Structure 1
């Protein structure tokens, strides 16, 4: 990821933190250049060590995370990775708050809430907000404190937007890590506001940002808590922290879209092709593999059953979308002869009466009906994602 970056494009140094420097871009003043450092800190900087290679690992992790969020439609500042330890982002005014989302109770939460047992599960996730103030150890703030602080451009609506986006980010990444057999215990993110007033997920999201337990086991933790817990910091223990961070980046990079799945779009006749094209367009947008087969349940019943049997034996996770107008027997016939999910998507006439043959089905026929082509594709993609 990222090649050589022309350092001549580094503009004014806007801010230097414990683990990164942020410069204005000379070529595009609406963007900033973020340089990660080979530095690890904890306890508001009370503990700090050089860790060779950390900048590259952190940049890789951050890039993978923000690319996932951008692909999911989350508004972020991230643009692209420019070199192994540099990425480009939109210039924003940072909001001096950290938004914390917790799935399991651990760490400081247990100290603040005696009686809550370790790994108590929050459903929905617990959300907290900290005011960024190292001198006072980033104190927790309520919504009322944020409002009364009169932060620039931050009111009740903006608080609710950031709160909701924090939850969205957590739930996306929780599902990603669950797919990789890891539990996202908690995480923190920050926001910025651009010159149009848009609220964007900002700063960085890497191994400094979360608690991550492979197989759901605290003793296998791979996040920065390992560094925080060290009683004696040695070169060997620091190297183990770096190995953990690299494992996180490499594991995220291994994430692949479900390749062993397929949507079979079954059409009653070639006249359904224009309607089915809308399904194809949406599946392509989701990067879901599909095939189109034309077979009539009424006129080619044996062939329809042969098509079902063909895909029963391909060793893939299949979703059928049946597209047939008028008396739609295609979806019910397929559903009656397969254990895979079937979605009816009949092209309706102006009266809408064609839908009844898709929803008024005999007992034991469990296909769903979605009349919108793009929504049928979305439903198939959701099933595959599960």
Structure 2
């Protein structure tokens, strides 16, 4: 399937030639297919082959520059594994993620300096605070920046039930929500950036659709087994 410069109507009863139509149509369709694929809606070989036929040598490919980033602040490198999971989840949405080490308890000046560093370059940023035991990072960041802050504490099996309160019970005037899942922290950031970034939004919608499809398939399989 490939568009041409000819345009028809009435089952080809009327037709005319429109110079440049093929280039515009093929490029537009190719970009639509590329968007669907980058969003995670893979349509097997049929769309892949169709896309290859439509791509023109000088066509304008869909290029989306990231309009935001996630900065993960960890209290110590002992939380690195937890933070790497957040970074990996951010990558699935095409969101750059940086990892930094700072302690709001032991070095508050450095924590605020890092905050100012990211506030000063004009790039929309979501901060993720990763701190076990007593979480000072999230509340301190939330109280000193207008950027979104989310807590994602790496809870231990020993004191997790007690430690989590430092992320939940906060002074008034602070607005840093808490999620225990690294993937949840990345999705929180993606939903913010998706308001202004069509590709991040498309990836979120694609995830929702794929989840819906998997649930329908699981339900169908279960019903077939019980009938």
Q: TM-score, normalised by structure 1?
A: 0.45
Q: What are the within-5 Å matches in structure 2 for residues 102-121 of structure 1? A: none
Q: 1:256 — aligned with what?
A: 64
Contact 1:345 1:371 in 2 (8 A): yes
Are 1:313 and 2:107 counterparts? no
Tell me how far apart the structure 1 counterparts of residues 15 and 108 of structure 2 sit (CA, whole Å).
Answer: 71
1:85 to 1:338, Cα distance in 2 relative to 1, 3 A: closer
Two-structure CA RMSD over aligned residues (Å) = 2.2
Structure 1 gaps, min length 5: 1-33, 87-248
Separation in structure 2 between the aligned mates of residue 82 and residue 314 of structure 1, nearest angstrom: 39
Contact 1:324-1:345 at 8 Å conserved across structures: yes
**Residue 385 of structure 1: CA displacement?**
2.3
Q: Deviations over 1:48-70 (max 9, x none)?
A: 21223322322211111011112
Q: Secondary structure at the match of 1:52?
A: coil
- Structure-1 residue corresponding to 2:15: 48
Residue segments in structure 2 that go unaligned for 5+ positions in a row = 196-227
Q: Secondary structure at the match of 2:141?
A: helix
Give the number of the structure whose alpha-carbon radius of gyration is greater: 1
Would you tell me which structure has more strand in proportion to its own residues? 1
Choose which of 72, 78, 83 in structure 1 pairs with 2:47: 78
In terms of fraction of residues, the more helix-rich structure is 2
Three-state SS of the structure 2 residue aligned to 1:314 is coil
1:153 maps to: none
> Does the Cα contact within 8 Å between 2:150 and 2:179 map onto a contact in 1?
yes
Give aligned pairs, total.
188
Which of 166, 175, 179 aligns to 1:357? It is 166
Match of 2:154 in 1: 347
Post-superposition shift, 1:46? 4.8
> SS where residue 368 of structure 1 aligns?
coil
Query: CA–CA distance in 1 between the matches of 2:14 and 2:72?
Result: 58
Map residues 375-386 of structure 1 onto 2, 5 A cutoff. Answer: 375-386=184-195
CA distance in 2, matches of 1:345, 1:258: 23
TM-score relative to the length of structure 2: 0.74
Distance in structure 2 (CA, Å) of the matches to 1:328 and 1:43: 69
Larger RCO (CA within 8 A; separation ≥ 6): 2
Cα 1:51/1:327, change in 2 over 3 Å = same
- In the TM superposition, what whole-angstrom CA distance separates every residue of 1:246-296 from its partner, at most 9, and x where no partner exists? xxx86xx5652334x221110011101111110111122222122211001
Give the corresponding residue for 1:165. none
